[in-house]
Each structure stands twice: as C-alpha cells, then as structure tokens.
A = this chain, B = another copy of it.
C-alpha cells in the first residue's frame, strides 16, 4: 500500500476490517515490522484524535514518530506553481514535501479546505502535491474532501456492534454554529456505499433539501429528506454537520430541529449513535444521547488506533 486517501485505496475491504480486529486483539504482534522506520505526521490544522491515535498505532508497530506542526513550528507554505515567491510564503510545498520524504519512511498529512472555492478544494491539489513530491507512502490525516482513517474506524465500530447481519446505517445531518467541511460525511458515505455494495449494510443519508453531498461520494446511497422517515428501523445513526456543497461552504440556517435526541431515536431499532468528534453537546446531539448507553462515540475514537495501525502495517509490508 502506497497511498491511503480514500476507500478506493483499499483492495479488499473485508480483509482490511479483519486485519484491524486482529491488531486490536494483539496490538504488539508486529513490532519488528516498524523497527527503525519513521512515521512523520504533518499537521497544518489542529488535531486531537488523529494526532494521538496515529502516534499510538505507529508505536504499537515499533516505529519512531516525528510530529511536525508545520503551521506553528515551521512557516507558511506556497502551494501554487509558477508563482514568484516574493510574498509571505516562505517555502514551496515541492521542497517541503520532498525534504520530509527524505527523513520519513511514511508520511501523514492533514490540511483542511478553505471552503472558498469548491473547485480548488475538490481538486485536492494540495494533498496530491504533497503525495507527488514527498516520494514516500502517504496517509491522509484528513484532506479537503475526505477523512478515511475516521471512516475506516467507523466501519470497524459498526462491524463490532452490529446485532443483525445487514444493519441499516443512517447518516444524518446535524446543526452547527460554524461552516464545516464535507470531508467527514463525504468519507463516511464513500465507505458505507462500498460496504453496501459488498452486501454488508443498507445505507441511507438524510439532510435538509439542498445539502446533498457530491454525487461521486454517494453511489447507491438512498437520500431521504425526512429525518423521521430515515431513522425508522435504523441500527446505526451517524450524526454530523456539514456545510453546503452546492452553495459552496454556506451554513444551513434554521436547522436546529435536526439535533439528534432520545425522542427521535425511538423510531429506530434501538440504534447505536455515532459521531466522529469533536461534538457540540446539546446542539448537534443531545447530552442525554451522548452520555447514554447507545452512544458509540468513544468506541469510534478508540478504534482510530486500529484503523491507523492497519494502514501503517500494510504500508510497512510494502516497504519490505
């Protein structure tokens, strides 16, 4: 494995899940694999779960880890080609990525979208340049449009907690106070559509009209504008805000009624509730749900270690 930026980088999804569960059962079984190998984690944006779970996963495999907060410990990167660098950008991503590739066997890279230009964000130009110039295997730690380590952890969690062979999984939009990227819902949808294709789940997305995600990430998903209809018989409810894809980056107004509550979940099949975190309590999701027995949010976060460790293990095997 040379790249982990999307579910499309995973050849065999079921085997990937199985590997993750095996690593969870025996975290330190492959420590010789990572000996004298270095993972570099490059952040241009804040991170809690991704930062710590990726470090932990690498250490479980015997790797060394170097963390680089490029925006704070380094300097502003130039990302455009053909620019005369006479402004405030100190270094071009071509050199920065190439140099980090010299010091690290595997790199992780996080960069959030600016939500100003859909074309720019959805081109994934910055992430792709980082991959191209670094010259080593790269893991997305969340890019402009996708967050595959999160989605893989979500799928592992569903596999662990499912009570029926083919559970109904519902992704529901939730209100928020800020304009958030579409990366988490795009990515969750992409992974669930693949799982649905492989007969593992049924997948429904519910959101206010106008908040449709990009088609390319929702192949085969059922779109349902009525939240209560979508929740009927749901086994897993994934709660997440996103800003508009079509009216790009805009926040949906007056969506407060979409907050997930115990009452709404009554129509479900005692659904487990998921969220990638961080979550706005009593705004996206009620505190009673978060603190109740149906919440899987901490389990999902814990499974981030195994999603990262599975990816790292496959990349390390590719280095042999």
Contacts and interface: CB of A to CB of B under 8 A. Distances in A.
Contacts of A128: none
A279 B77 CA distance: 11
A100 B51 CA distance: 11
Interface of A: 27-28, 36, 38, 40, 43, 46-49, 51-53, 55-56, 59-60, 64, 66, 68-70, 72-75, 78, 81-87, 90-92, 94-96, 98-100, 102-104, 177, 277-283, 287, 290-291, 297-298, 301-302, 305
B69 A73 contact: yes
A301 B99 contact: yes
Given A85-B282, A98-B298, 7 more contacts: A48-B99, A49-B99, A52-B100, A72-B72, A81-B287, A85-B280, A94-B291
A83 B282 contact: yes
21 contacts: A27-B36, A36-B60, A38-B56, A38-B59, A40-B52, A48-B96, A48-B99, A52-B68, A52-B104, A56-B66, A56-B103, A78-B281, A81-B287, A84-B281, A85-B280, A91-B278, A96-B278, A102-B298, A102-B302, A102-B305, A103-B305
Nearest to A99: B301
Given A92-B281, A103-B305, A287-B82, A47 B74 contact: yes
Contacts of A298: 95, 98-99, 102
